[in-house]
């Protein structure tokens, strides 16, 4: 079966890759959105913490545990320990750095500056500790097989694992936000922060936990994506921009927004290069053929175009609440 | 014994004197009202009692202790509950959760990771309050979807859930229909004793029937105090307020 010259199996392959990419965007966008919703901090350091998570995972897995326990167990230890380490790190960072700006003039702008500073500091810090070149991070042997393989279609085990893990995390996060006491207070604080304070609730503890949670999610995403790419000090840069696009498109102040936004953009991003493989190849006005190369590049640019269109037509995003930035 | 006293309480905003040396005293269990035309300094006075504003000079004494410099959230724990002129609730939380979060604020240690229905006594307490404010049927609806009057009741419920000794209500009937206003008056009357209630109103009719005593502020200063009849008969009050 083929549509316009593209094999169906190739189409499914791209759907699959889009789902993988989208899953990571969803995890990062949720962390970004929850921190912003409660604390009003636009976390430009989110990508840097994601990158740091990957390096911590590399250290735990390749340097500490794999030599003794083997690469599979080493990787599992890394997956389990990185969120804990990053959660603690996030809380310490909130306590000793971010909390200093609360109730100061230009609180939000200070937050942006601090987190932007982290996005510059952390990569250099990582280069200092781990060296300038990136680190290879292999797919653990237990995941080195395909669940399904035919022609160009290859549903690999590890990529499937990331999708399922992301789905479970999103579900757990939903339970946390909508069914637990902490979640109720996060929602209350996001909704009406002054009121929470007036009720005499210990807001600082909620904020600390929330920031830790967002950073833990970022770090976990970093270590989970590491086997798919190499670990590198700049790995958080592009994905940070893409995550912001997901949040803008999905909408601030809602849980479903970043989830749907991430999944839709993941598909757009993955399917766009296919256009170049169709028989409907276009020529521009000079007669140059707009071929596969164009559509490969277009996929990155399309994200920005979608964001621009959303900002023009529906500034609060697909599922966002009006006034989320007030 | 007074549960609340203010001594020469003043608030200046630069050159503007919003509240000018007010002495005020409320006994435990009383239902009191503060009235005055717009700009009389009622809400500023109120905010200083609740701790949302700190006084320029003078004292606020609550339950025998000087709380003039104590921040609002600590006064909440001491037993001062309040509502706001503009409804202040959590629109995106359910009605039950609105009450529940206030009840929860009284517990110092709390397992944040436990599920919402797991603390039985808090849910029971919240349900009792819902019963009192007549919102049991709307228990699981989002607070933001309630009618205006219901939201005002919910806000009072939130304040009640914090176990206050003193309840401060800022224009509780603002925006209500005349019928709702009468009902709300009766409801507030039912709250007083053992609770002490102080309400601020712009509209004198609201407070006429229910208050033990009415205090009139004008231009930030104390003008008159007494029963409904006394205040009505007061020539000064008639001049600045009733004829308005």
Average pLDDT over residues A200-225: 93
Residue of B nearest to A180 (CA): B115
Q: In degrees rounded to 5, what are phi and psi of residue B26?
A: -125, 130
> Which helix (H) or strand (E) covers residue B216, if one does?
strand B213-218
- Token couple for B138: 């709307």
Alpha helices for chain B (secondary structure H): 42-50, 72-78, 95-104, 120-132, 148-161, 178-191, 204-208, 228-233, 235-237
Cβ contacts of B92 on chain A, cutoff 8 Å: 187, 190-191
Cα A183 to the center of its chain, rounded Å = 21
Percent with pLDDT over 70 in chain A: 96
With cut-offs at 50, 70 and 90, classify the pLDDT of residue B241: low
Which residue among A185, A188, A200 places its CB closest to the CB of B76?
A200
Nearest in space to B142 (alpha carbons), one of A188, A30, A39, A259: A188
Beta bridge partners of A289: A283
Does A196 contact chain B (CB < 8 Å)? yes
**If DSSP codes are grouped into helix, strand and coil, which group holds residue B218?**
strand
Residue of A nearest to B92 (CA): A191
Dist CA B203 CA B221 (whole Å): 18
With cut-offs at 50, 70 and 90, classify the pLDDT of residue B121: confident
Q: Is the pLDDT of residue A60 over 90?
A: yes
Average pLDDT over residues B107-124: 72
Q: Is the pLDDT of residue A8 over 70?
A: yes
Dist CA B64 CA B174 (whole Å): 32
Cβ contacts of B111 on chain A, cutoff 8 Å: 181
Average pLDDT over residues A79-99: 97
What pLDDT is attached to residue B208? 74
**HSE, side-chain direction, 13 A CA sphere, residue A212:** 18
Percent with pLDDT over 90 in chain B: 54
Which residue among B72, B93, B112 places its CB closest to the CB of A198?
B72
Burial class (CB in 10 A: 0-12, 13-18, 19+), B38: exposed
Does B115 contact chain A (CB < 8 Å)? yes
The pLDDT mean for chain B works out to 88
Burial class (CB in 10 A: 0-12, 13-18, 19+), B1: exposed
Dist CA B244 CA B239 (whole Å): 8
Question: Could you identify the residue written with the tokens 């409801």?
Answer: B187
Reported as a single tens digit per residue, the pLDDT across B21-52 is 999 999 999 999 998 888 888 989 999 999 98
Residues sharing a CB contact under 8 Å with residue A53, sequence separation 6 or more, in sequence order: A82, A83, A86, A218, A219, A220, A221, A222, A223
Pairing of strands B196-201, B31-35: parallel
Does B82 contact chain A (CB < 8 Å)? yes
Average pLDDT over residues A227-243: 94
Distances, alpha carbon A272 to alpha carbons A9, A125, A277, B15, B37, in Å: 16, 36, 10, 65, 66
Q: Is the pLDDT of residue B111 over 90?
A: no
Q: In degrees rounded to 5, what are phi and psi of residue B34?
A: -120, 125
Does A185 contact chain B (CB < 8 Å)? yes
With cut-offs at 50, 70 and 90, classify the pLDDT of residue A4: low
Whole-model pTM? 0.85
Whether A198 and B112 lie within 8 Å, measured CB to CB: no
Whether B115 and A194 lie within 8 Å, measured CB to CB: no
Mutate one of A175, A179, A183, A184 to test the B interface: name it (highest B CB count within 10 A): A184
CA angle (A298, A303, A309) in 5-degree steps: 115
Q: Is the pLDDT of residue A325 over 70?
A: no
Q: Is the pLDDT of residue B205 over 90?
A: no
Is A260 in contact with A276 (CB distance < 8 Å)? no
Percent with pLDDT over 90 in chain A: 69
- Token couple for B166: 């003193």
Average pLDDT over residues A168-191: 92
Dist CA A6 CA A3 (whole Å): 5
Does A192 contact chain B (CB < 8 Å)? yes
Segments making up each domain of chain A, as ranges:
20-234
Does B173 contact chain A (CB < 8 Å)? no
Q: Is the pLDDT of residue A221 over 80?
A: yes
Ramachandran sector of residue A253 (left: φ over 0; alpha: ψ -120 to 50; beta: rest): left
Residues sharing a CB contact under 8 Å with residue B58, sequence separation 6 or more, in sequence order: B6, B7, B8, B9, B10, B21, B22, B68
Residue of B nearest to A201 (CA): B105
Dist CA A228 CA A219 (whole Å): 15
Q: Is the pLDDT of residue A108 over 90?
A: no
Average pLDDT over residues B120-148: 92
With cut-offs at 50, 70 and 90, classify the pLDDT of residue A230: confident
Q: Give the number of residues written for chain A.
A: 326
Does B96 contact chain A (CB < 8 Å)? no
Mutate one of B84, B105, B109, B157 to test the A interface: name it (highest A CB count within 10 A): B105
What pLDDT is attached to residue A194? 82
**If DSSP codes are grouped into helix, strand and coil, which group holds residue B32?**
strand
Q: Is the pLDDT of residue A1 over 70?
A: no
Size of interface A-B (CB pairs under 8 A): 75
Question: Could you identify the residue written with the tokens 């009383």?
Answer: B30
Nearest in space to A32 (alpha carbons), one of A282, A242, A204, A199: A242
Whether B113 and A192 lie within 8 Å, measured CB to CB: no
Q: What is the DSSP letter of B242?
A: I
**HSE, side-chain direction, 13 A CA sphere, residue B185:** 19
Whether the complex's predicted ipTM is more than 0.90 is answered with no
Longest dimension (CA), chain B: 61
The pLDDT mean for chain A works out to 91
Is B81 in contact with B164 (CB distance < 8 Å)? yes
DSSP B59-100: EEEETTEE-TT--HHHHHHHTEEE--SS----TTSBHHHHHH
Reported as a single tens digit per residue, the pLDDT across B146-190 is 999 999 999 999 999 999 999 999 988 888 888 888 889 889 999
> Which helix (H) or strand (E) covers residue A125, if one does?
helix A107-130
**If DSSP codes are grouped into helix, strand and coil, which group holds residue A247?**
helix
Q: Is the pLDDT of residue A63 over 50?
A: yes
What pLDDT is attached to residue B110? 59
Is B29 in contact with B62 (CB distance < 8 Å)? no
Average pLDDT over residues A75-82: 96
Which of B:119-158 have CB within 8 Å of A?
119, 158
Reported as a single tens digit per residue, the pLDDT across A247-288 is 999 998 789 999 999 999 999 999 998 888 776 667 777 777
Does B102 contact chain A (CB < 8 Å)? yes
Kindly report which listed range (A131-135, A314-318, B73-77, B207-211) carries the lowest average pLDDT score: B207-211
Q: In degrees rounded to 5, what are phi and psi of residue B9?
A: -75, 125
Which of B:189-208 have CB within 8 Å of A?
none
**If DSSP codes are grouped into helix, strand and coil, which group holds residue B10?**
strand
Dist CA B20 CA B6 (whole Å): 12
Burial class (CB in 10 A: 0-12, 13-18, 19+), B16: exposed
Residue of A nearest to B110 (CA): A181
């Amino acid at each position: 079966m083929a549509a316009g010259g593209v094999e169906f199996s190739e189409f499914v392959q791209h759907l699959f890759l889009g789902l993988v990419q989208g899953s990571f965007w969803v995890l990062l966008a949720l962390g970004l959105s929850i921190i912003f919703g409660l604390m009003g901090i636009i976390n430009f350091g989110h990508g840097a913490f994601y990158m740091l998570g990957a390096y911590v995972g590399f250290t735990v897995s390749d340097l500490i545990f794999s030599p003794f326990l083997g690469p599979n167990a080493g990787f599992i230890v890394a997956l389990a320990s990185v969120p804990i380490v990053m959660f603690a790190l996030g809380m310490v960072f909130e306590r000793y750095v971010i909390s200093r700006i609360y109730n100061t003039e230009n609180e939000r702008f200070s937050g942006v500056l601090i987190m932007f500073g982290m996005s510059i500091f952390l990569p250099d810090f990582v280069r200092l500790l781990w060296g300038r070149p990136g680190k290879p991070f292999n797919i653990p042997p237990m995941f080195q097989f395909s669940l399904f393989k035919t022609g160009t279609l290859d549903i690999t085990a590890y990529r499937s694992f990331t999708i399922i893990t992301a789905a479970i995390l999103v579900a757990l996060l939903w339970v946390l936000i909508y069914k637990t006491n902490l979640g109720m207070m996060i929602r209350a604080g996001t909704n009406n922060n002054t009121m929470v304070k007036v009720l005499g609730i210990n807001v600082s503890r909620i904020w600390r936990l929330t920031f830790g949670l967002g950073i833990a999610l970022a770090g976990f995403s970093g270590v989970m994506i590491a086997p798919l790419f190499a670990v590198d000090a700049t790995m958080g840069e592009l994905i940070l921009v893409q995550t912001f696009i997901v949040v803008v498109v999905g909408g601030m102040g809602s849980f479903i927004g970043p989830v749907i936004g991430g999944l839709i953009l993941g598909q757009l991003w993955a399917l766009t290069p296919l256009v170049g493989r169709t028989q409907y190849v276009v020529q521009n006005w000079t007669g140059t053929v707009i071929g596969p190369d164009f559509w490969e590049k277009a996929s990155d640019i399309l994200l920005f175009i979608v964001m621009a269109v959303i900002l023009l037509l529906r500034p609060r995003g697909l599922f966002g609440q009006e006034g989320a930035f007030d | 014994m007074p549960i609340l006293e203010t001594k020469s309480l003043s608030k200046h905003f630069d050159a503007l004197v919003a509240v000018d040396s007010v002495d005020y005293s409320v006994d435990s269990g009383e239902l009191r009202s503060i009235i005055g035309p717009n700009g009389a300094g009622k809400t500023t006075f109120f905010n200083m009692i609740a701790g949302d504003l700190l006084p320029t000079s003078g004292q606020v004494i609550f339950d025998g202790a000087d709380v003039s410099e104590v921040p609002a959230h600590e006064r909440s724990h001491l037993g001062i509950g309040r509502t706001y002129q503009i409804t202040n609730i959590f629109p995106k939380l359910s009605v039950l959760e609105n009450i529940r979060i206030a009840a929860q604020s009284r517990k110092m240690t709390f397992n944040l990771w436990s599920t919402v229905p797991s603390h039985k006594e808090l849910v029971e307490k919240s349900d009792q309050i819902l019963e009192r404010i007549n919102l049991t049927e709307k228990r699981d609806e989002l607070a933001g979807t309630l009618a205006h009057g219901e939201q005002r009741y919910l806000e009072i419920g939130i304040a009640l859930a914090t176990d206050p000794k003193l309840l401060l209500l800022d224009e509780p009937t603002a925006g209500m229909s005349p019928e709702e206003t009468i009902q709300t008056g009766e409801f507030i009357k039912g709250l007083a004793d053992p609770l002490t209630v102080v309400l601020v109103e712009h509209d004198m009719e609201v407070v006429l029937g229910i208050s033990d005593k009415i205090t009139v502020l004008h231009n930030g200063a104390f003008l008159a105090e007494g029963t409904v009849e006394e205040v009505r008969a007061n020539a000064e009050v008639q001049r600045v307020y009733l004829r308005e």
